[in-house]
Amino acid sequence: MNRRNPDDAEVLHLLLDCVPSPIGTIMIAADYEGNLRTALFTDNDQFIRRQLRHHYGKTGFALEPAKNPSGLSSAISSYFAGQLDAIDTIAVQTGGTPFQRRVWKALRDIPWGATTSYGELAARIGYPAAVRAVGAANGANPVVVVVPCHRVIGANGSLTGYGGGIERKRWLLNHERSPTLF
């Protein structure tokens, strides 16, 4: 249950934590019910605030620091330590359009160690002609690693854009193909 003050009944209260990883800090925001709302490669809370404004409006959320909200930080750390399935059951709830959420849901169906193309993903969600729209939704994904947009590659097998950078995408794909304990 979200802790809400009667004076701010429309404000979504989120817990903010930083998760160190071998490829940079991931800042997460989660609600009191344990839903991951955003996870991005950054250590700058202003960057997270800008992302959240896109989904919840300028005054639609409040952030407070927390350690390991609902065990989410530990689950993400376990993924980086080689336990890939640690993130499979993390509950994710995001803003975004219905189309974006459909793409993000389909991303979670791509098994770790596998990749798909934008065209294959578009066909999978029933919009085979919407390759560019799928690419745009993939690029707008507010939950890195857990919603694995890094598993989408170009039709020719090339690594294409990734908000966290191509080197992180390469690292994540290699990690999922042969996890190593850190």
Active site residues: 149
Are residues 14 and 61 in contact, defined by beta-carbon separation less than 8 angstroms?
yes
3-state secondary structure of 131: helix
Are residues 47 and 163 in contact, defined by beta-carbon separation less than 8 angstroms?
no
Q: Residue ranges of the alpha helices (H) in the chain? A: 45-56, 72-80, 98-107, 118-124, 131-139, 166-177
Are residues 64 and 13 in contact, defined by beta-carbon separation less than 8 angstroms?
yes
**Angstrom distance (rounded) from CA 27 to CA 159:** 24
Beta bridge partners of 16: 29, 65
Residue 25's H or E segment, with its range, is none
3-state secondary structure of 108: coil
